[in-house]
Amino acid sequence: MKMADSTTILRRNRPGTKAKDFSRWADEPLEEMDSTLAVQQYIQQLIKRDPSNVELILTMPEAQDEGVWKYEHLRQFCMELNGLAVRLQKQCSPTTCTQMTATDQWIFLCAAHKTPKECPAIDYTRHTLDGAACLLNSNKYFPSRVSIKESSVTKLGSVCRRVYRIFSHAYFHHRRIFDEFEAETYLCHRFTHFVTKYNLMSKENLIVPINEEENSTPGESDA
């Protein structure tokens, strides 16, 4: 990106930059981003501008490939969810949360094992985020960041269902941590609108109340 006087703007934090001045460069239109990571950069730019503007963040630009758009958003969700996982470690341990639960009605089984089985909640969280990262970075399914096969796009729904359980456990069992994190990031709010907008999860599985909508059905879920 260049200014009117042809001075190049280096979009990076120079050594010695104070934390409050990180990434304080001008926004750049998606069509001017010359990089294979342009969609990721554009999404992060919108989040940085205003994380509460969920509708704007999720609005797909014209001519944008929908598969890539959904893929890059899910990558971003998983990266940000690591921040919630770190905070959960303060309260959520294998001794305090021996199962991955949401309320007393939902028990989730971990798919990181040969046969899905129960895991302590914090282990389930780590396993799920690690598994999501492995899949989303797989050269077999996602060799390109600019074009994605439809057969690979169909795998995004299962990732969404699993990572959503991290939100539900945090909400029902570590509410203070959830509320503090959500007030800063609006991540669960954004994720809920994302999976609803693109039909990546069924509404009966969205058990964290968003916009006064709450769906709760008792049961045990497999991986």
- Is the separation of the CB atoms in 80 and 132 below 8 Å? no
What percent of the chain shows pLDDT beyond 70?
Answer: 79
pLDDT of 130 above 90: yes
Sign of CA dihedral 22, 28, 34, 36: positive
More confidently predicted of 29 and 42: 42
Domain count for the chain: 1
Helix ranges (H only) for 50-186 are 54-58, 66-88, 121-136, 150-153, 156-173, 175-185
Q: Is residue 104 part of a domain?
A: yes
Amino acid found at 183:
A
Q: Is residue 161 part of a domain?
A: yes
Closest CA to 200 of 209, 208, 191: 191
pLDDT of 39 above 80: yes
Q: Is residue 157 part of a domain?
A: yes
pLDDT of 212 above 50: no
Q: Is residue 18 part of a domain?
A: no
pTM score of the predicted model: 0.83
Q: Is residue 79 part of a domain?
A: yes
Element (H, E) at 107: strand 106-108
CATH of the domain at 76: 1.20.140.30
- Kindly state the average pLDDT of the residues 166-178: 96
Tell me how far apart the alpha carbons of residues 175 and 209 are, in angstroms, rounded to a whole number.
12
Q: Is residue 17 part of a domain?
A: no
Domain of residue 103: give its range: 38-221
Note the pLDDT of residue 105. Answer: 80
Tell me the two tokens of residue 79: 């990266």
- Kindly state the average pLDDT of the residues 57-75: 94
Q: Is residue 163 part of a domain?
A: yes
| Residue partners of 221: CB distance under 8 A and separation at least 6 | 106, 107, 108, 109
